Amino acid sequence: MELAAVVERAERVIVTRADPAAPPAELKSALGDVQALRSFCAAAEADLGRRLAERVSFPEAELSESSKESLHASTRTLERAATLDAVPGLAAALDRATVTAGHVDAVTKAAKGLDDDEQRSDLFDRVDELVGVAQAATVAEFAKRVRDAASRIAADAGVDRLERQVRETTLSTWVGNDGMWNVRGRFDPVTGLKLAAKLDSTVEALFAESEPDWCPADPVAKQGHLRALACAGLIHGGTRVGRPGRPEFVAVIDITAGPNAHAGAGAPEAESVLGSGDPVQVDWPIPIEVPHRVLTELVADADVHAVVVRNGVVLHAPGELNLGRMTRLANRAQRRALRGLYRTCAIPGCATHYDRCKLHHIIWWRHGGRTDLDNLIPVCVHHHHKIHDAGWNIRLGPNRELTLTLPDGTIHNTGPPNRLAA
């Protein structure tokens, strides 16, 4: 809206509020003006938030401080800004106040339910053609149209997409200018799941007790180096680790939330796949999309592990969860257990998927920290750098309540982690 239109609507609202005898028609008109102003402010907030995010290291916290809202609300603002960037027609409609922030949030929510950028891009293209519908529909009506569009995209992308991915599987090798032999591969998600499981188990078997002296100090580079050594060992037959390519699934049971809390949270097919009467979340070690029919076939030849959690505490998880000072590297059992608590990086407001995070020692290894479950927390590469090199300090409470202290003394606190709210 132009400035004059904003002022005009605000004046009408003020005049109507000041008139105790205002008739219903004027009250309804003033409420319409309030909604239009709300849409204008939502568009402005998203635009300003996006610009702020380009200039600061922790935009969620800065937004929260300026708006006096929660970090969760600030994250929602940035997500709304990303949706508006992806759907310019909807952004223009919000700026004109012909749609509401609720219409935009319906698109954001539907996009989160899709599994890759290609599907989300398809949804955004379809939504751009539905702006006219949004302007005439309620939020609930428009949300249903968007959900239907997302469901069609997901269905079209199911088995047909997997078949295409199988056909497009490829591996290439070459020698670089530095003399290093290079490998690059693209695999369908089912094959990728098996390869990832085999690599992870091999890394754990080879390097749980000790690492090569020449191993990089940087934790991300170190993991890449160890995985490369494990891959080489598998290829030349120097390792014998378990069954080949056996995938792993994790069933997360949160007994805090009650028996029906998991329905629709994470993997809607979990109940039918596991054959259980109580729905649980099912997760696997890499962020992939596997059609339901293929998933049921995989479970028959997979390791299914149950992780039981309550109020930020792991009550049960298979494997050794406390390694003490025997090794600096967390094992698969510890990663599996923390998967039951975290869907993303533990830093508040960060949406980086758990599988792209490293397990950081709260009390650093070099300072005598132990590789025990209560001393480990998942953080992404960006925030791991902040902790080690930029003076960020984190502490955990008895139920994994996180206290984050920034170099300027600002303190952020969270409650226990909750996958269902992520």
**pLDDT digit string, tens, across residues 243-259:** 444 566 777 777 765 54
Average pLDDT over residues 103-115: 89
Q: What is the 3-state secondary structure (H, E, C) of 159-204?
A: HHHHHHHHHCCEEEEEECCCCCEEEEEECCHHHHHHHHHHHHHHHH
What single-letter amino acid sits at 121?
A: S
Per-residue confidence (pLDDT) for residue 209, from 0 to 100: 62
Residue, of 297 and 391, whose pLDDT is higher: 391
Residue, of 177 and 261, whose pLDDT is higher: 177
**pLDDT digit string, tens, across residues 211-228:** 788 888 776 787 788 889
Average pLDDT over residues 191-203: 81
Per-residue confidence (pLDDT) for residue 115, from 0 to 100: 75
Per-residue confidence (pLDDT) for residue 208, from 0 to 100: 61
Helix runs in 19-138, H state only: 24-53, 59-67, 71-86, 88-95, 101-112, 117-128, 131-136
Average pLDDT over residues 7-26: 93
Nearest to 360 by CA among 350, 346, 348, 343: 346
Average pLDDT over residues 126-130: 88
Pairing of strands 170-175, 376-379: unpaired
Q: Is the pLDDT of residue 156 over 80?
A: no
% of the chain exceeding 70 in pLDDT: 83
Average pLDDT over residues 140-167: 81
C-alpha–C-alpha distance, residues 111 and 77, integer Å: 15
C-alpha–C-alpha distance, residues 39 and 9, integer Å: 12
Residue, of 275 and 245, whose pLDDT is higher: 245
Nearest to 200 by CA among 3, 415, 359, 402: 359
Per-residue confidence (pLDDT) for residue 293, from 0 to 100: 63
Q: How many residues does this entry show for the chain? A: 422
**pLDDT digit string, tens, across residues 340-376:** 889 889 998 888 888 778 899 999 999 999 999 999 9
Average pLDDT over residues 289-301: 65
Indicate the range of 94-103, 165-174, 271-280 predicted with least confidence: 271-280
User: Would you state the structure tokens that stand for residue 67, as one six-digit string?
Assistant: 């708006």
Per-residue confidence (pLDDT) for residue 104, from 0 to 100: 94
Q: Is the pLDDT of residue 275 over 60?
A: no
Per-residue confidence (pLDDT) for residue 278, from 0 to 100: 43
Q: What are the residue ranges spanned by the domains of the chain?
A: 3-157
